[in-house]
Amino acid sequence: MPGFSYDVVGETRPAQDGWLGRPAGYRRFERTVCVGRGTDRWEAVAASVLSWQVKIRSGFVVRPVDGEVLARSGARYELTVRVGPLTVREPVRVVEVVTGAERCGFSYGTLEGHPVSGEEAFVAHRSADGRVWLTIRSLTRPADSGWRWLFPVLLIAQRFYRGRYLRALPPG
């Protein structure tokens, strides 16, 4: 099984409300948006997050390498996205899955061949007042591959897709 293409595995910490780390050499990102209120909305958002709907609704195809689409710790996936005439392939492995009554989500890390190097997390959580939230976290640096020279362009694409992620589960 191929290893991760970065050295701070687990650093996005989807089980925690906050995360402190800012590892040297990585760009850190976190945004949280309200996606609704109530138990029914919580259940729908939690299920959507764990089934990769944030990525899928943002234009990615998620293909499990080791089984089903539902995020599972240690499972490998191949994410693909079309950018103009190109299809970009992103091999990843799930680092951690959280399935609690108030917090649900997962993080995944890049494998060799991914255009960037790092980790991303998608987390649904709810507050005591019943509001449901989606948090996106990531740590990114240039990959040690042929993609490295395109990193400035990849950062623009990353910003574009993060915007899509945050709108993938509109308030219901």
Q: Domain residues for 58?
A: 27-167
Higher pLDDT, 151 or 30: 30
Mean pLDDT of 85-105: 95
Mean pLDDT of 98-116: 95
Residue 6 in domain: no
Residue 87 in domain: yes
Give pLDDT, residue 1. Answer: 40
Residue 7 in domain: no
Give pLDDT, residue 148. Answer: 65
Residue 5 in domain: no
Mean pLDDT of 125-133: 97
Does 82 score more than 60 pLDDT? yes
Query: Cβ contacts of residue 59 below 8 Å, gap of 6+?
Result: 81, 82, 161, 164
| Residue tagged 């897709």 (tokens) | 161
Residue 22 in domain: no
Tell me which residue of 41, 17, 42, 43 sits closest to 30, measured CA to CA. Answer: 17
Residue 104 in domain: yes
Tell me which residue of 42, 82, 84 sits closest to 171, measured CA to CA. Answer: 42
Asked if 108 and 96 count as a contact pair (C-beta separation under 8 A), the reply is no
Residue 156 in domain: yes
Residue 16 in domain: no
What's the rounded Cα separation, in Å, for the pair 108 and 76? Answer: 9
What's the rounded Cα separation, in Å, for the pair 133 and 20? Answer: 20
Mean pLDDT of 116-121: 94
Mean pLDDT of 105-124: 94
Q: Band of the pLDDT at 67, cuts 50, 70, 90?
A: confident
Tell me which residue of 113, 122, 126, 118 sits closest to 10, measured CA to CA. Answer: 118
Candidate ranges 2-6, 130-134, 158-162; pick with highest mean pLDDT:
130-134
Instruction: Report how many domains make up the chain.
Output: 1
Give pLDDT, residue 160. Answer: 85
Mean pLDDT, the chain, integer: 91
**CATH number of residue 105's parent domain:** 3.30.530.20
